[in-house]
Amino acid sequence: MRDATCSAPASLLRLCACAACRPALAPRRPQSTKKKKGIMSLDRFFKRVGTNVESSSSTNKGLKIDLNDLPWDPFERKPISSYHPSQKDEIRRAYLLKGPCQPTMSVYPQTLYTNKFRKFNPEWYTQQHGNWLEYSVKADKVYCLYCYLFRESGQNDAFGYEGVRCWNKVKRFDVHVGDCNSFHNKSLKKGSDLLKEAQSIHVAFDKQTEKQKKEYRIRLGISVKVARGLLNGGLPFRGHDESDKSIYRGHFIEFLKLMGEINEEIGNVILNNAPGNSQMTAPSIQKEICNCFAEEVLKKIFEELGDDVFSILVDESRDISKKEQMAVVLRFVDKLGFVKERFIGLVHVMETTTISLKSAIDELFARYGLSFDRIRGQGYDGASNMSGEFNGLKALILKENSSAYFVHCFAHQLQLVVSDH
């Protein structure tokens, strides 16, 4: 029976959580506990939903973290992805202000390498890698502070998450740093930008008036629309001479001028009518807009691919500036049963060795969350570094996935036949 002290209506009895209504809400159990043969109770498949609202909502908010009490030793740190998204930048900034973990010891542990003991050298702190190099006393390994802080999902660089013990191969530090477009150098740039919060776009945008914000949005919007039109037509953006005296300053600027002549509101805020540092016409701005469109296209490609298997087509060549470039294409069957081939990237490689190509593909797959386990085919030309039986790219991928069957590219076979005749 219901207690008279509860004023909840009978229709809301199931929503009332007071002590008086709980007995009324308790499920009635049968008198006999004997189970019939072949019938399984469903009670164990269901969990009772708790009535504590605070406990369910607390998971959506990150727990308060004492920034002065963060683990100092790299071996004891939690992955940066385990923190709440609203706390990540705050934690990153705290680690960056504190600097890399570089303890000095009188005696370091030694490791045997080919009949010779070697150990960590504290002089590495003062060399060219001292701004990122960290040493863990507990693990006797070195780490990279920036790669730990900005590590992306799928990034498998050991310096960022599990540490490296390479006392006999110090050159591995240089390999980790890589070229200007490596993940390490990109992480350094992100760390530098994070510490310059006063120069961020959010701070600068908040200082502007509503009129300035409206004009900025108009300039940005029209630049994006012009870029989209040029990309759809496959037209070049830049001109041979983009100075004010030039007859034709390139498609991008000329189309902006045309839009300003058609719409007076747009013409009053773009090009020479805009502030000199906010015209949205710089080559870097054009490239950023194109990169944004590229990311959106790739997002649609991976949505189309889903979690299905695919084949990989790779070919490398040298451009006019004599830089080696590697093109990567995915071949898969969509949900309607049609075979699709989608270009996903043009990667710059330092050299065309098998190891260099494999590491570039590893980085590309890590960036987009792809896995070698999903590869069911691979197609290249007949070069030894690509289709070599023992040391080619084909062999390295087959070691990771035996289902990635190799097929010699038919286009290259046809080219060889035509060139012979």
Structure tokens at 332: 């898969």
* pTM (2 d.p.): 0.51
For 114-118, which contacts have Cβ atoms below 8 Å and span 24 or more sequence positions? Answer: 114/168, 116/168, 118/167, 118/168
Q: Which residues of 324-352 are buried (b: 16+ CB within 10 A; e: fewer)?
A: bebebbbbbeeeeeeeeebebbebebeee
Nearest 5°: the CA angle 264, 266, 268 is: 70
Q: Domains of the chain: which residue ranges?
A: 1-26, 70-198, 208-290, 306-420
User: For residue 421, what pLDDT is reported?
Assistant: 59
CATH classification of 306-420 is 3.30.420, yes or no? yes
Three-state secondary-structure class, residue 110? strand
Three-state secondary-structure class, residue 116? strand
In the numeric block, the tokens 């023992």 are attached to 390
d(CA 260, CA 223): 11
Per-residue pLDDT of the chain (421 residues; tens, 9 = 90+): 445 445 444 444 444 445 445 444 444 444 444 444 444 444 444 444 444 433 333 344 556 777 778 888 888 888 888 888 888 888 888 888 888 888 888 888 888 887 888 888 888 887 777 788 888 888 888 898 888 888 876 566 778 778 888 888 878 888 888 887 788 888 888 888 888 765 555 666 566 677 788 888 888 899 999 999 999 999 999 888 888 888 898 899 999 999 999 988 888 888 888 887 788 888 889 999 999 999 899 999 998 888 899 999 988 888 787 788 889 999 999 888 899 999 988 888 888 888 888 888 888 888 888 888 899 999 888 788 887 777 788 888 888 888 888 888 788 778 777 876 5
User: For residue 279, what pLDDT is reported?
Assistant: 83
Three-state secondary-structure class, residue 345? strand
**Residue 404 class from Cβ within 10 Å (0-12 exposed, 13-18 middle, 19+ buried)?**
buried
**Residue 319 class from Cβ within 10 Å (0-12 exposed, 13-18 middle, 19+ buried)?**
exposed
User: For residue 229, what pLDDT is reported?
Assistant: 92
User: For residue 112, what pLDDT is reported?
Assistant: 85
d(CA 313, CA 329): 5
**Residue 125 class from Cβ within 10 Å (0-12 exposed, 13-18 middle, 19+ buried)?**
middle
d(CA 82, CA 146): 16
User: For residue 205, what pLDDT is reported?
Assistant: 59
Up-side HSE of residue 326: CA atoms within 13 Å toward CB? 26
Residue 136, phi then psi, degrees to nearest 5:
-100, 120
- E-strand ranges in 128-176 read 133-136, 141-144
d(CA 206, CA 157): 37
